[in-house]
Amino acid sequence: MEEAAAAERNNLGGVRYILLVLSGKGGVGKSTISTELALSLRHSGKKVGILDVDLCGPSIPRMFKVQDSDVHQCDAGWVPVFVDQEKSISLMSIGFLLEKPDDAVVWRGPKKNALIKQFVADVAWGELDFLIVDTPPGTSDEHISTVEALRPYKPLGAILVTTPQAVSVGDVRRELTFCKKTGLRVLGIVENMSGFVCPHCSECTNIFSKGGGEELAKHAGVPFLGSVPLDPQLSQSLEDGRDFIQEFPKSSAFPALTRIAQQILDGVSQGSS
């Protein structure tokens, strides 16, 4: 009975494209890219959802300034949190389920896996053009469970994020292997935090080196989606949960971020024509 109900639910039935954002290393900007990609796609008139499967360190609620929201139940399952009146961006994150924001989720694998399965099956997304899945760093429980649970819905593929330095690129090489092993298509590599332009004198410093992501993309034969510079306006805007794409079109990270979204859009329009 229950199984039939779950199958009937088919909460992802109205979602056209599912894509994952992955990185081997932490803190390289997965949540940032997920957020800005969602904002850019909305700017192009798309309806977007973000599923945040980072259970120990969810950043998505804060990056949209909805960290105090709660999710509610409906017949079809959980109602995601909408960030705007038009309901053009909806979010699901463990951050909405915690009693206190500083609560630590001290869970071993099996418990994490159970929640991820629920996240995939029980969120009433409705009609979406894109569902972006933001992940924690690594190649472990959350990733295996997410990919397994999403498999029936045939995800479009994964965007891999790295910073330019060798230590981070090394981790992305392992992430590429993960994609190969799990049969997940690599949509491309983003090099984030590449270069910082001093706001005082315009000198560009490669704080985390430069070019590592592009080189890796070439080496691995996957598309390179672009380099996003270190941009204090971007980090500030994420801290405040503002719409960077709407408010900072002149900032240094803007062109690269919108180009990533454009390439994704081009990719799916080619695929469907």
Ligand X SMILES: Nc1ncnc2c1ncn2[C@@H]1O[C@H](COP(=O)(O)OP(=O)(O)OP(=O)(O)O)[C@@H](O)[C@H]1O
- Under the binding rule (CB under 8 A), the answer on residue 134 touching other proteins is no
Q: Which residues have a Cβ under 8 Å from the Cβ of 183 and sit 6 or more positions away? A: none
Among 15, 62, 129, 194, binds other proteins (CB under 8 A): 62
- Interface residues for ligand X in 131-170 (CB under 6 A)? 136-137
Which residue(s) pair with 196 in the sheet? 205, 230
Count CB atoms within 10 A of the CB of residue 77: 18
* Sequence-distant (≥ 6) Cβ neighbours of residue 165 within 8 angstroms: 208, 209, 212
Looking up tokens 């330019």 gives 164
Is residue 22 within 8 A of residue 143, CB to CB? The reply is yes
Residue 198 annotated as lining a ligand binding site: yes
d(CA 237, CA 181): 37
Report the alpha-carbon distance of residue 36 to residue 162 in Å, rounded.
16
Considering the complex, state which of residue 104 and residue 201 has its C-beta at the smaller distance from Zn ion.
201
Q: What is the C-alpha to C-alpha distance for residues 86 and 48, in angstroms, rounded to an integer?
A: 12
Instruction: Report the residue from 1, 4, 7, 198 that binds Zn ion according to the rule CB under 5 A.
Output: 198
**Residue closer to other proteins, measured from CB, 6 or 166:** 166
Determine, following the binding rule CB under 8 A, whether residue 248 of this chain makes contact with other proteins: no
Q: Does 54 bind ligand X (CB under 6 A)?
A: yes
Secondary structure (3-state) at 171: helix
Quick check: 100 binds Zn ion (CB under 5 A)? no
36 binds, among Mg ion, Zn ion, ligand X, none (CB under 5 to 8 A by kind): none
Is residue 229 within 8 A of residue 256, CB to CB? The reply is yes
Other CB atoms within 10 A of residue 122 CB: 15
| Phi/psi of residue 108, nearest 5 degrees | -85, 175
Residue 192's binding partner among ligand X, Mg ion, other proteins, none (Cβ under 5 to 8 angstroms by kind) is ligand X
* Tokens found for residue 271: 């695929």
Q: Which residues are at the interface with Mg ion (CB under 5 A)?
A: 30-31, 59
In the complex, what is the shortest distance from the CB of residue 93 to other proteins, in angstroms, rounded to a whole number?
12
- Partner from other proteins, Mg ion, Zn ion, none binding residue 24, C-beta < 5-8 Å depending on class: other proteins
Is the CB of residue 229 less than 8 Å from the CB of residue 257? no
Measured from the CB atom, the residue of 125 and 254 that comes closer to ligand X is 254
Which of other proteins, Mg ion, Zn ion, none sits in contact with 25, Cβ below 5 to 8 A by type?
other proteins
* Residue 138 interacts with other proteins (CB under 8 A): yes or no: yes
Instruction: Tell me how far apart the alpha carbons of residues 213 and 28 are, in angstroms, rounded to a whole number.
Output: 12
Q: Which residues carry a binding-site annotation for [4Fe-4S] cluster? A: 198, 201
Residues that bind ligand X (CB under 6 A): 23, 26-32, 54, 57, 59, 136-137, 192-193, 228, 230-231, 234-235, 238, 253
Residues that bind other proteins (CB under 8 A): 24-28, 31, 56-57, 59, 62-63, 98, 101-113, 136-141, 143-144, 163, 165-168, 170-171, 173-178, 181-182, 196, 198-201, 203, 205-209, 230, 232, 235-236, 238-240
